[in-house]
Amino acid sequence: VLAQLGCHQVNHLQVTENQPADAPATLARLQAAALVFVTGGDQERLTEQLLGTQFLEVLRQRHQHDAGFILAGTSAGASALGGQMLVAGRGWRSLLGGGISVIPGLALLPSLLVDQHFIERERYPRLLHAVLAYPMLLGVGLSEETGLLLRPGRPAEVFGTEVVVVADARHLTATNYPTLAKGQPLSARGLRMDLLVAGDELVIG
Amino acid sequence: VLAQLGCHQVNHLQVTENQPADAPATLARLQAAALVFVTGGDQERLTEQLLGTQFLEVLRQRHQHDAGFILAGTSAGASALGGQMLVAGRGWRSLLGGGISVIPGLALLPSLLVDQHFIERERYPRLLHAVLAYPMLLGVGLSEETGLLLRPGRPAEVFGTEVVVVADARHLTATNYPTLAKGQPLSARGLRMDLLVAGDELVIG
């Protein structure tokens, strides 16, 4: 597919127990790449293999300081880029106490908490719960065929055919989250929600 | 069930084509009732039978001016009380242009747009869409076993075991709603959302 789209030098940079992220050949390829595309699958496996590696440090440096470098992620590969990531939470009960699991992400986009397949899988309750748990992070729910384009020094820009749902708990006036028991309903006042479509911009703090 | 709860004078006030709302006996019973409980079922049938009737006028007068009178509604009977009501919109596509149907309600609570079975049926997208269509109305999503207690001159108060989701588009800063084509994704900036639980108060403008 990527070759059909005009990408003529596509290589699969595989990182596993047998091909560790910090192998010299792997790091050399990362240094030379113009674009890294983090594919979907299992975001816990991604962070297990990459957190604490020199590979991740090189990726962070290139992402932050190399204006020509492009970092992309889809599905689990998008979620893993955030400061924290949702790894469990299904259906309406994900809004109840104990209804989600959130663990540290790769923090290449440290101020975000990214969810995906968002409107299609109706993940509103789990993203709302996640931003109440981590109110300093901006919750970003990506729909399928839809993404955010992030470039240094500019606001992020939405592309694609559907919506990006932004859940913002940074200015809450009240919540019962800190004392919430398992199975009890969450309360919160002052959540902000934005629905963004292609061309809309988002300032990421 | 109601008799078990201590209500000893419960009568079924039925309104149909054969028992019109404005029959003298029906109006006399409405004038004498201490409480009217609007049950669930079909909210379109409720408004068809009641809009424009003297019955509804008496109900409105008693609700507004008779401090001892209690008006209650559940399920479709709660939705019908609002200024407008959702009568169609299912799943995630209810957030797309043309994805919902909204028609006038009984307007006994004229500033509200009430949805129900809200968190259980994951009705976030359709309520968000509805308040973008009617931004002057406050969207209220009632969960099962959960309700709002409204008393004259006081803020509404949540009761029950789950959450009331309030969607407020009264202070939007941008939306594509007015020019939205069928099937296209909605955009909006500055939606406010509150999650309220038992004991929480809500000021209804």
Q: What is the CATH number of the domain that holds A160?
A: 3.40.50.880
Integer Cα distance of A163 and A155 in angstroms: 17
Long-range contacts of A16-24 (CB under 8 A, 24+ apart): A16/A49, A20/A49, A20/A53, A21/A49, A21/A50, A21/A53, A21/A54, A21/A55, A21/A56, A22/A53, A22/A54, A22/A55
Helix (H, G, I), strand (E, B) or coil at A129: helix
Between A12 and A144, the more confident residue is A144
Tell me the average pLDDT of chain A.
Answer: 92
pLDDT at A20 over 80: yes
Do B122 and A92 lie within an 8 Å CB cutoff? yes
Tell me the average pLDDT of chain B.
Answer: 92
* Beta strands A188-196 and B188-196, pairing class: antiparallel
Question: Is residue A44 less than 8 Å (CB to CB) from chain B?
Answer: no
pLDDT number for residue A5: 67
Question: Is residue B20 less than 8 Å (CB to CB) from chain A?
Answer: no
Q: Would you place residue B59 in the very low, low, confident or very high pLDDT band (cuts 50, 70, 90)? A: very high
Integer Cα distance of B178 and A83 in angstroms: 36
| B97, HSE (Cβ side, Cα atoms, 13 Å) | 15
Chain B residues with CB-CB distance to A163 below 8 A = 95, 185-187
Do A192 and B194 lie within an 8 Å CB cutoff? no
Integer Cα distance of A191 and A125 in angstroms: 13
| Residue in B91, B184, B189 closest to A194 by CB | B189
Chain B residues with CB-CB distance to A94 below 8 A = none
Q: Exposure of A203 by Cβ count < 10 A (0-12 exposed, 13-18 middle, 19+ buried)?
A: exposed
Does some domain include residue A62? no
Chain A residues with CB-CB distance to B196 below 8 A = 187, 189
Integer Cα distance of A129 and A104 in angstroms: 16
Integer Cα distance of A200 and B150 in angstroms: 39
Q: How far is A197 from chain B (nearest CA, A)?
A: 6
Does some domain include residue B1? no
pLDDT at B30 over 70: yes
Quick one: angle between helices A54-65 and A24-32, nearest 10? 10
pLDDT number for residue A170: 97
Q: Exposure of A4 by Cβ count < 10 A (0-12 exposed, 13-18 middle, 19+ buried)?
A: exposed
Q: Would you place residue B182 in the very low, low, confident or very high pLDDT band (cuts 50, 70, 90)? A: very high
Do B120 and A92 lie within an 8 Å CB cutoff? yes
pLDDT (tens digit, 9 = 90+) per residue, B64-75? 898 888 888 888
**For residue A178, what are the domain limits?**
74-202
pLDDT at A2 over 70: no
Partner B, chain A 140-159, Cβ-Cβ below 8 Å = 143
Long-range contacts of A171-180 (CB under 8 A, 24+ apart): A172/A132, A172/A135, A175/A132, A176/B197, A177/A132, A177/A133, A180/A97
pLDDT number for residue A151: 76
Q: How far is B113 from chain A (nearest CA, A)?
A: 18
pLDDT (tens digit, 9 = 90+) per residue, A54-63? 999 999 999 9
pLDDT (tens digit, 9 = 90+) per residue, B92-127? 999 999 999 999 999 999 999 999 999 999 999 999
Q: Which residue of A has its CA nearest to B189?
A: A194
Chain A residues with CB-CB distance to B94 below 8 A = none
pLDDT (tens digit, 9 = 90+) per residue, A34-52? 998 888 888 899 999 999 9
Integer Cα distance of B107 and B112 in angstroms: 8
Does some domain include residue B65? yes
Q: Would you place residue B3 in the very low, low, confident or very high pLDDT band (cuts 50, 70, 90)? A: low
Q: Would you place residue B1 in the very low, low, confident or very high pLDDT band (cuts 50, 70, 90)? A: low
| B4, HSE (Cβ side, Cα atoms, 13 Å) | 1
Question: Is residue B42 less than 8 Å (CB to CB) from chain A?
Answer: no
Mean pLDDT of all residues in A109-123: 95
Helix (H, G, I), strand (E, B) or coil at A201: strand
pLDDT (tens digit, 9 = 90+) per residue, A141-187? 999 999 998 877 788 999 999 999 999 999 999 999 999 999 999 99
Mean pLDDT of all residues in A123-134: 98
Does some domain include residue B18? no
Residues in chain A: 205
Integer Cα distance of B93 and B186 in angstroms: 11
CB B88 within 8 A of CB B100: yes
Q: Which residue of A has its CA nearest to B96?
A: A162
Question: Is residue A201 less than 8 Å (CB to CB) from chain B?
Answer: no
Total of domains in chain A: 1
Q: Would you place residue A70 in the very low, low, confident or very high pLDDT band (cuts 50, 70, 90)? A: confident
pLDDT (tens digit, 9 = 90+) per residue, B139-172? 999 999 999 988 777 889 999 999 999 999 999 9
pLDDT at A4 over 70: no
Residue A51 DSSP label: T
Helix (H, G, I), strand (E, B) or coil at A98: coil
| Residue in B162, B186, B190 closest to A163 by CB | B186
CB B158 within 8 A of CB B196: yes
Does some domain include residue B67? yes
Question: Is residue A57 less than 8 Å (CB to CB) from chain B?
Answer: no
pLDDT number for residue A91: 95
pLDDT number for residue B2: 62
pLDDT at B13 over 90: no
Between B75 and A137, the more confident residue is A137
> What is the residue whose two structure tokens read 């957190």?
A51
Do A186 and B195 lie within an 8 Å CB cutoff? yes
% of chain A surpassing 70 pLDDT: 96
Helix (H, G, I), strand (E, B) or coil at A157: strand
Helix (H, G, I), strand (E, B) or coil at A52: coil
Q: Would you place residue B91 in the very low, low, confident or very high pLDDT band (cuts 50, 70, 90)? A: very high
Do B163 and A186 lie within an 8 Å CB cutoff? yes
pLDDT number for residue B4: 67
Nearest to A108 by CA among A154, A148, A60, A45: A60
Partner A, chain B 65-124, Cβ-Cβ below 8 Å = 91-92, 95, 119-122, 124
* Beta strands A146-149 and A101-104, pairing class: unpaired
